[in-house]
Amino acid sequence: MSLDAVLDTVAAGCLVAGAMLCLAAGVALLRFPDLLFRLHAAAKPQVLGLLLVLLGCALRLRNGVDITTLVLIGLFQLASAPVAAHMVGRTAYPHRDIGRDLLITDELAPDWERINANRGVPSPPAQASQGPG
């Protein structure tokens, strides 16, 4: 078996594994009950799936310019996906779009209560999250 055949086989495995992780992340976005769970599914397995797909493409292409482009795509994805998920979570928090009953620790609650008290805004009651379905 030649080196090209081995690299092509490993590339195919990476492409299939990455596609399966991306599919699992997409299904989780539809099935998970809460915004924070959906953010986790959008950030972690999606990025890992994309990195596996990029690795599979790099193993298949084996060209310096293509590999450099794929590395840059992977680095930009690693830099932007967690930040975007964090910002969506921070934006959704004051609007009560998350299920507070599913949180183990709510570290932002005292800060938001203090900010609302300084503004003279009464604290709304915690909204119960809806289950799947």
pLDDT (0 to 100) of residue 10 = 96
Number of domains composing the chain: 1
Answer whether residue 131 is part of any domain: no
Answer whether residue 132 is part of any domain: no
Answer whether residue 129 is part of any domain: no
Answer whether residue 126 is part of any domain: no
**What sign results for the dihedral spanned by CA atoms 110, 112, 116, 119?**
positive
Question: What are the residue ranges in the chain where pLDDT is below 70?
Answer: 121-133
Q: How many CA atoms lie within 13 A of 110 on its CB side?
A: 2
pLDDT (0 to 100) of residue 123 = 61
Answer whether residue 45 is part of any domain: yes
The position carrying tokens 């909204």 is 127
pLDDT (0 to 100) of residue 5 = 93
The rounded distance, in Å, linking the Cα atoms of 125 and 30 is 27
- Determine the Cα angle at 109 with ends 104 and 112, to 5°: 160
pLDDT (0 to 100) of residue 133 = 43
CATH number at 104 reads 1.10.287
pLDDT (0 to 100) of residue 8 = 94
pLDDT (0 to 100) of residue 49 = 94
Is 0.85 surpassed by the pTM of this model?
Answer: no
The rounded distance, in Å, linking the Cα atoms of 11 and 14 is 5
